[in-house]
Amino acid sequence: MSRLPRLPDDALPDGTGAMFDIARNMMGFTPNDARDMARNPAILKGVAAMCEAVYAPGEVEPGLKRLVGYVASTAAGCKYCQMHTAHGAGGHGVDPAKINAAWSYEDSPLFTPAERSALRLAHLGSLSPSEVTDAHFEELRTHYTDAQVVELVAVISMFGFLNRWNAVMDTDIEALPGKHALDIGLELR
C-alpha cells in the first residue's frame, strides 16, 4: 500500500495538469507515482521531461526500450515499474511470451543477439555497483550505434530513479498495468 495518501484530481497543484495529460497520452492512465511527485511540481516537471525525452522516438525501437526498462526494474526489484514496463512493451507490440521471457534473455530463443546484449546491459547496469564491463560494452557496440547506446543507457538510468522512487514510496499499481500483468501471466521477481 502506498506510503502517502493518493492526491485526487481536484487537489493537484496548479500547473501540473499538462504533465498529467502527457502521462495519460503516453501510458493510457494517470500514474500514481506522478500523483506523489505532484506534491513538489518541480520534481514532477523534471521527471516528466526526462521520461518524455527518454521515450521520445529515436533509433531504438519503443518495445525494446520497454523491455530494457522491464529487465532494469526486475534487477532492481521494483514490481511497480515491472508492471508498467510490461504494459508499455505490450502496448508497443511486444509479444507477451517475449515479455515473460525477458528475465531469461540469455537462454530464451525469443531474443536476438542484439536484444540479449541490450537486456544484459539493463540487468548488469541496474545492479549497484554496476557490473557492466568493457567487454559487455564492446559487444553491445557491435549491435548498436553510439546514439542507440545512449538511448539504452538513458532508459536504464531513468529507471534507476523510478525504481528507487516507487520502491521507497511503495506505490500502488494502477488498474490498467495491473490487469495487463495478470492477463499475460507475468511472474514478478
pLDDT digits (tens, 9 = 90+) for 129-154: 999 999 999 999 999 999 999 999 99
% residues pLDDT > 90 (the chain):
80
pLDDT for residue 183? 92
pLDDT (average), residues 173-187:
92
pLDDT for residue 20? 81
Tell me if 74 sits within 8 A of 102, measured CB to CB: yes
Domains plus CATH for the chain? Answer: 10-54 (no CATH), 62-183 (1.20.1290.10)
All three cell numbers of 158, joined, read: 531513468
Is residue 92's pLDDT more than 80?
yes
pLDDT for residue 7? 81
Is residue 127's pLDDT more than 90?
yes
Is residue 166's pLDDT more than 90?
yes
Q: How far is CA 103 from the centre of its chain?
A: 14
Cα angle, residue 26 at apex, residues 23 and 27 outer, rounded to 5°? 80
What is the radius of gyration, based on Cα positions, of the chain?
Answer: 16
pLDDT digits (tens, 9 = 90+) for 16-50: 888 788 788 888 888 999 999 999 999 999 998 99
pLDDT for residue 187? 82
pLDDT for residue 9? 79
pLDDT (average), residues 1-5:
88
All three cell numbers of 83, joined, read: 508492471
Task: Output the pTM of the full model.
Answer: 0.94
pLDDT for residue 84? 95
Is the bond into 129 cis (omega within 30 degrees of 0)? yes
Average pLDDT, the chain: 93
Tell me if 93 sits within 8 A of 182, measured CB to CB: no
Question: 67 φ, ψ to 5°?
Answer: -65, -40
pLDDT for residue 13? 85
Is residue 99's pLDDT more than 90?
yes
